[in-house]
Amino acid sequence: MPSRRTLFAASGAAFLSWDAVIRAAHAQTPPGVLVMAKQIDDVISLDPAESFEFTGTEICGNVYQKLTTTATDDPARLAGDLAESWTAGDDAKTFTFTLKPGQKFASGKEVTAEDVVYSLQRVVALNKSPAFIINQFGFTKDNMAQTIRATGPRTVVLTTAEPTATSFLLYCLSAAVGSIVEKAVVSARAANDDWGNAWMKANSAGSGPYRIVSWRASEAVTLDANPNAARAPATRRIILRHVADPSAQLLGLQRGDYDVARNLASDQIRGAQGDSRYTLVTQRKAGLLYIAMNQKHPILSKPGVRQAIKWAIDYEGIQRNIVPSNYAVHQAFLPEGLPGALTEKPFKADVAAAKKLLAEAGHPDGFEIGFDFFSGPPVNDIAQAVQANLAAIGIRARMLPGEMRSVITKTRARQHDLALLRWGSDYFDPHSNAEAFSMNPDNGDDARNKTLAWRSAWAIPELTARTVAAVKETDGEKRVAMYEALQRDHQQQSPFAIMLQDLEVAVARNTVKGLQIGVLNDRTNYAGVTKA
């Protein structure tokens, strides 16, 4: 492990400044405007049919409504968002939703069943990264006119291909990809059959508490209150500024340039505890940090090599020395808190065992490999520690730092060797992560469902079949047992070294109240935030 002194020289200096900061008057953010410092260079698109990253889905959650949602403080509890009620047919394939009256888009137009149908059909037709959440119910571009339809101004009927548990469908519809857009606004911006996607990347047409004013990649996102929201947000404007360096976030928070800092390092967070000028908002999130190993690489495709990498990593040391306040060690694809999540930790740093596995796989002298990762802290510090762990067993990682969206784009194209990545659950059901990590029904380059297993070219017909069986199981106890068994086999077989689970800590000035951080990314709620 690199020394703590080396890894945290910069953040340690920032920590000292808690007591050394000059208390003279500083610039303050304007009244009615909340400014958050956050690493937002993961944003690729703000179109809810395409957005699939942490920041993008968080923004979509504050700009759009879905048919259903879950409470921020109780993510297992389903509730209507735009839907007033729903019923399931006797065939368990026909689901009828009745919309609440009086829900309005930012334009002032009332939300109708036609808007809901257009939004869900748009997801299916575009078939962007998050579309599999909706597509898995058998909706296709060819059948969507029959399977997603309006039968009245406030009535929507969905027909799934196979019998489906109502709760599972509702959880999936509560994901960010289920966001409802205004048909008239979006369709008017369509070009070359793109369903308005080019325009929607940086604009919005929603009925949520906020609307998008602007997005400048790797700079800032500005949201203004929706004047027609069902409940007016407490703060009229939200600004997210991209600040990659936690020390710069801390300095800006101290000076009054920012009201909230979202990515402080562990030492900096400890410095804020007990300081009356600041409050901390903490949430264990359904997010994971993991290493993906591309199975198109001839060496990484060997099971012994994959196991060697897992036994090389010093999980506990990385968590303890680099991110004690930001992550917890976790080694299963279901984050702790989701039904069926394993808390077992079968791997630990064992250089001798890892070297033995490498030798048995035919690589006693190791090998060189590319390693993609986000260039900002703390991920870059974690990547350096992993590089040192791998070097100890003879694997020479060629470091390839980049902006988060470039790393994501590369892995979506299956062009990585090793990549250090984050993944957040899309809805509060085990299948959200099971489908991503342990399903790959088509390993072809033009596959319809491009799951995480697909991105790493991991062909797994047997695990895919077991994952499909688990989501169809109606007995709750049996279903949990199936996911537990899947995770144990996945830990031993998969090309994923799952390392850590997110512990998000936002540090806010004491004038800020009401910020809610969601277990799921799109449940982080800005609407109730006030600032004195």
Domains held by the chain: number? 2
**Listed residues 211, 230, 251: the one ending a domain:** 211
Examine residue 67 and state whether it is found in any structural domain, yes or no. Answer: yes
Residues 195 and 322 grouped into a single domain: no
Residues 333 and 466 grouped into a single domain: yes
Examine residue 513 and state whether it is found in any structural domain, yes or no. Answer: no
Q: Is the pTM of this model over 0.85?
A: yes
**Listed residues 190, 211, 232: the one ending a domain:** 211
Residues 309 and 198 grouped into a single domain: no
Tell me the longest C-alpha to C-alpha distance in the chain. 69
Q: Which amino acid is at 7?
A: L
Residues 474 and 354 grouped into a single domain: yes
Residues 300 and 428 grouped into a single domain: yes
Residues 52, 58: Cα–Cα separation, whole Å: 10
Residues 178 and 86 grouped into a single domain: yes
Residues 293 and 206 grouped into a single domain: no
Examine residue 68 and state whether it is found in any structural domain, yes or no. Answer: yes
Examine residue 98 and state whether it is found in any structural domain, yes or no. Answer: yes
Q: Which residues contact 338 (CB under 8 A, 6 or more apart)?
A: 286, 425, 428, 429, 430, 432, 433
Hey, what are 171's tokens?
């959880």
Alpha helices in 285-416 (DSSP H): 303-312, 315-321, 351-360, 379-391, 404-412
Residues 157, 152: Cα–Cα separation, whole Å: 10
Q: What confidence score (pLDDT) does residue 17 get? A: 39
Residues 288, 528: Cα–Cα separation, whole Å: 27
Residues 200 and 323 grouped into a single domain: no
CATH, residue 430: 3.10.105.10
In degrees, to the nearest 5, what angle opens at C-alpha 68 toward C-alphas 63 and 69?
65
Strand 83-88 with 33-38, pairing: unpaired
CB contact at 8 A, 430 and 334 = yes
Examine residue 515 and state whether it is found in any structural domain, yes or no. Answer: no
Examine residue 137 and state whether it is found in any structural domain, yes or no. Answer: yes
Q: Which amino acid is at 137?
A: F
Give the residues across from 289 on adjacent strands: 422, 500
Examine residue 512 and state whether it is found in any structural domain, yes or no. Answer: no
Residue written as tokens 């659950």?
A: 425
Residues 109 and 205 grouped into a single domain: yes
CATH, residue 47: 3.90.76.10
Examine residue 530 and state whether it is found in any structural domain, yes or no. Answer: no
Give the residues across from 507 on adjacent strands: 261, 280
Domain residues for the domain of 495 are 285-503
Q: pLDDT by residue (tens digit) across 59-77?
A: 999 999 999 999 888 888 9
Residues 441 and 316 grouped into a single domain: yes
Q: pLDDT by residue (tens digit) across 152-207?
A: 999 999 999 999 999 999 999 999 999 999 999 999 999 999 999 999 999 999 99
**Listed residues 191, 211, 231: the one ending a domain:** 211
Residues 205 and 292 grouped into a single domain: no
Residues 323 and 450 grouped into a single domain: yes
Which segments in the chain show pLDDT lower than 70? Answer: 1-27
